Structure 1
């Protein structure tokens, strides 16, 4: 009983540390878009690590807490100003986008090659986060496309794809490459903790 309690406490402390590290890394912005979104210093990687080390339950829970912190540190209110738009932004830009990072370990499971699984799981959750931003951009933030001369007259879906892809593609590449490098250097970081 004491060992199980110790293990759970240790996992909780590790998750709290990963939330702190992820929050600090999210503040180190390599590139920032004017209406939200940025390329950060691998700020998603701590949550991906939790997913691999402690499973989907802990990964999703840690990602959810991170989503709340991200809202507190920089919430962008939707231009429509309606309750539905507000709920949409909360769900798509924060709760789903960050919580679903906790799925990386589950997505990686079918791969026999561990390194390939880490790369696939990491890239997949980054794509999921992009899809959340893409939907939000098209459904909730499309009115901002008129702010860009290059986007005027463009389909709102294409505008959202280009806008969100401009920061999420580099973020995906940086995060996936760093996850692979870390996995090669210290594979135990990506193995389930016993």
Structure 2
């Protein structure tokens, strides 16, 4: 993570390094406990789901607050920080806070509207199961994010399908739950690679960008191409990654600027630099397509999809389960 000896690192760098290894330990522990409970004590999975979700949320918020505080203290001591919302941008970035905030609001509104308008509510039992699988898929994605083919100098990498577990989760359990799982994963990504120059940049590059991955289930929520799961999954994944790509692009234009100002302005450089997310998507699409073309894989996810697509309709004293598939 850092090339200098640990003793020479700043408080911020030491804390983020320790947090990284603690996060890996928590993720691996959750996977081990899940498979143990699934085999030995399946009735405990519901409780495990709530506990693991609480641990992930509490840990993420705590460590991110600590890292941001340490980073801001460093900025203040270096004379880099004027106030929390006016951190000096990297040279070459477009200095237009109003446009930065406007594009951020548009991205958030787009993701939220798709989740609320197309995403469907599910029954309580499905929600309990979704929490357990969210914990596992987040942990799997986090573990896979360490298998990197390419790592870029200003953040970003091409990994071995690290987003695939989250994409599959969103397809199975719907985009509302997928977006929430993506937000949590984005917070963990900040722990892994804490690039922080501006509060809005943090939101764009982490929780907003990865919440967009939850849109993978977009077409699975509708009757479009319902007989062609591979097509539903692929189209949803493309929409999701395009939103993620645009989120990184906005951050690049208004915060990071151009890494090659002699040949590219901030806009062109940001579109080019953040193309790594499209390469990441291509790997996930190929492996995801292979999985969805497998009868065995489809037999495994069929019960999960069926249970997650049921909703309970209450009419006085009568409860009717309506299958939306």
* TM-score (ref. length: structure 1): 0.83
- The aligned residue for residue 111 of structure 1 is 225
Farther-moved stretch of structure 1 (108-117 vs 47-56): 108-117
- The aligned residue for residue 147 of structure 2 is 28
- The aligned residue for residue 161 of structure 1 is 271
Does 1 or 2 have the higher relative contact order (CA < 8 Å, sep 6+)?
A: 1
- TM-superposed CA distance for 1:9, in Å, is 3.3
- The aligned residue for residue 18 of structure 2 is none
- The aligned residue for residue 282 of structure 2 is 173
- TM-superposed CA distance for 1:57, in Å, is 2.1
Structure 2: runs of 5 or more not aligned: 1-42, 47-122, 308-325
For the 8 Å contact 2:195–2:202, the answer to whether it is kept is no
For the 8 Å contact 2:163–2:284, the answer to whether it is kept is yes
For the 8 Å contact 1:28–1:41, the answer to whether it is kept is yes
Change (3 A) 1:153 1:16: same
2:158 alignment partner, SS class: strand
Over residues 126-176 of structure 1, what are the superposed CA-to-partner deviations in whole Å (9 max), with x where a residue is unaligned?
12111111111111110x52xx4xx524221111111111x1221121111
Alpha-carbon distance in 2 for matches of 1:101, 1:107: 13
2:145 alignment partner, SS class: helix
Alpha-carbon distance in 2 for matches of 1:121, 1:48: 9
- TM-superposed CA distance for 1:7, in Å, is 4.5
Alpha-carbon distance in 2 for matches of 1:111, 1:132: 28
Alpha-carbon distance in 2 for matches of 1:75, 1:193: 39
The count of corresponding residues between Structure 1 and Structure 2 is: 180
Instruction: Flag the structure with higher helix content.
Output: 1
For the 8 Å contact 1:88–1:140, the answer to whether it is kept is no
Give the counterpart of 2:251 among 124, 129, 136: 136
1:140 alignment partner, SS class: helix
Alpha-carbon distance in 2 for matches of 1:91, 1:132: 9
Give the counterpart of 2:169 among 50, 63, 66: 50
Farther-moved stretch of structure 1 (182-191 vs 130-139): 182-191
Structure 1: runs of 5 or more not aligned: 79-85
For the 8 Å contact 1:127–1:172, the answer to whether it is kept is no
Farther-moved stretch of structure 1 (18-27 vs 56-65): 56-65
Give the counterpart of 2:211 among 91, 99, 102: 99
Give the counterpart of 2:298 among 178, 181, 187: 187
* Rg larger for: 2
- TM-superposed CA distance for 1:6, in Å, is 5.6
Change (3 A) 1:153 1:23: same
Change (3 A) 1:159 1:184: same
